């Protein structure tokens, strides 16, 4: 099973199901690997990808319900944003367009319209991410009596510190440390 199918997109977003696989598949793969796996673990993702959507026994599993209710909507919004942000950077004849009259003629949206579109769906994606992380945390990573540990070493967001030195601010930004006394 794929993390989502192209027909899942239109359930939450204005997305054309006729979008080329050449555009959709890289977006889906990126979101699956970089926007979902870090929050639910590689092991949980592997099990989800092994589900059969038509199987009644799979549909009764807690992890399947977690995917259906939390992961799937987050994936849809993340893919939609990926596609919106990369609009114009592909070789497809059509991208996001707006209709200009009743004859169904269209033109590409401008930068400001694309920015508004991205902001709207970023907010929605972040809401679904928050819900997904909350549900995973509430269940403590346990679905169907199996513990899915997060891959903290693989998906670490911490920057390495240079020689144990911790920055306390910038000497060029006086507003950051105003009123605090320290020596350089």
User: Domain residues of the chain, as ranges?
Assistant: 6-155
pLDDT of residue 101: 61
The total number of residues written for the chain in this structure: 184
- Which tens digit of pLDDT belongs to each residue from 8-33? 999 988 888 888 888 889 889 989 98
Does an H or E element contain 95, and which?
A: none
CB atoms within 10 A of CB 100: 10
- Which tens digit of pLDDT belongs to each residue from 58-108? 999 999 999 999 999 999 999 998 888 766 554 445 666 555 666 656 667
- For residues 105 and 36, the answer to whether their CB atoms sit within 8 Å is no
Produce one character per residue of 166-182: b if its CB has 16 or more CB atoms within 10 Å, e if not. Answer: eeeeeeeeeeeeeeeee
């Amino acid at each position: 099973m794929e993390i989502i199918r192209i027909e899942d997109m239109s359930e939450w977003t204005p997305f054309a199901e006729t979008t080329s696989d050449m555009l959709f598949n890289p977006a889906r793969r990126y979101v699956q690997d970089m926007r979902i796996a870090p929050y639910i673990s590689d092991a949980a993702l592997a099990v989800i990808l092994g589900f059969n959507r038509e199987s009644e026994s799979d549909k009764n599993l807690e992890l399947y319900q977690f995917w259906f209710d939390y992961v799937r909507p987050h994936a849809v919004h993340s893919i939609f944003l990926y596609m919106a942000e990369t609009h114009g950077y592909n070789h497809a004849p059509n991208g996001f367009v707006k209709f200009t009259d009743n004859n169904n003629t269209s033109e590409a949206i401008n930068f400001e319209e694309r920015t508004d579109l991205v902001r709207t769906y970023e907010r929605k994606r972040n809401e679904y991410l928050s819900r997904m992380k909350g549900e995973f945390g509430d269940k403590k990573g346990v679905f169907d009596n199996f513990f899915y540990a997060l891959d903290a070493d693989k998906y670490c967001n911490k920057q390495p510190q240079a020689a144990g030195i911790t920055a306390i601010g910038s000497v060029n930004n006086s507003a950051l440390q105003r009123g605090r006394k320290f020596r350089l």
